[in-house]
Structure 1
Amino acid sequence: MHKYYFALASKNFLMNEEPVEEILRERTNHYRKNKKDVDFWLITGSDFNKWIDEENICKKISRPYAAIVSSDKKFISWLKLRIGFILIGNFKSESILQFYDQ
């Protein structure tokens, strides 16, 4: 079982109001430069709902959600400082690919 960390916000906020594309592109370039495997994913849609305490989240964030998920806790903590208005947390899963299994 792997531990993953997430930064969660409304899809509109994360995709339209913040420069997330630029942040993730810069992070990807940094990883390539340092020959490190990419360990983060942008997830949109309702599949993420099963991993979070949605009842508590709904009080703070409007649906639909978007999340940046990573195995790197420091990266998610940095995102919280960089973006600000997001919720962070963690969950355990066998694989991140479970988001895409239907």
Structure 2
Amino acid sequence: MAQTYHYLAASERFLHEHIVEEVLEERRRDYLARNKPIDFWLVRAPAFLEALGEHRCPLPAAAIVSTDGAFILWLKHRLQYVLMGSFEAPSPAIPDPLATSATVR
């Protein structure tokens, strides 16, 4: 059954410089403390960008993917200069929402 995934994408360097990994780790600790399942992932070289025909993101790209659209919107406001969108998966074009690209551009 397909599910909606929300994402924000930017160059991997941009996300690293803006301490996104620390934000995700804080959120992960909070979820674990509340016994809430993890619903967000950091994906390097996300394959779904190619499947969506998204070529505006600087390379190498990375994305934060979540089933929680409000979380992605919150990150968008915090980071500002990122691409944001959503997609349904699994689908014929995107069989695995967390897959990495075989051809890292």
TM-score interval, smaller chain: 0.7 to 0.9
User: In the alignment, which residue of structure 2 is the partner of 1:63?
Assistant: 59
Match of 2:18 in 1: 18
Larger helix percent: 1
| DSSP-derived class of the 2:9 partner | strand
Cα distance in 2, alignment partners of residues 84 and 37 from structure 1: 27
Partner Cα separation in structure 2 for residue 5 and residue 90 of structure 1: 4
Where 1:66 maps in the other structure, the secondary structure is strand
TM-score normalised according to structure 1 size? 0.81
TM-score relative to the length of structure 2: 0.79
SS in 2 for 1:54: coil
Q: Structure 2 unaligned runs (5+)?
A: none
Amino acid at match of 1:7: L
Separation in 2 of the partners of 1:64 and 1:48?
14
Letter in 2 for 1:87: L
Shift of 1:52: 2.8
Runs of 5+ in structure 1 lacking a partner? none
> C-alpha separation between the residues in 1 aligned to 2:34 and 2:52?
32
Pick from 72, 81, 96: which aligns with 1:85? 81
Structure-2 change in CA distance of 1:96 and 1:32 (3 Å): farther
> Secondary structure of the residue that 1:88 maps to in structure 2?
strand
Aligned residues: 96
Contact 1:42 1:69 in 2 (8 A): yes
Share of identical aligned residues, percent?
38
Pairs within 5 Å for 1:1-102: 1-15=2-16, 17-45=17-45, 47-55=47-55, 57=56, 61-94=57-90, 96=96, 99=99
Shift of 1:54: 1.9
Q: Report which structure shows greater RCO (CA 8 Å, sep ≥6).
A: 1
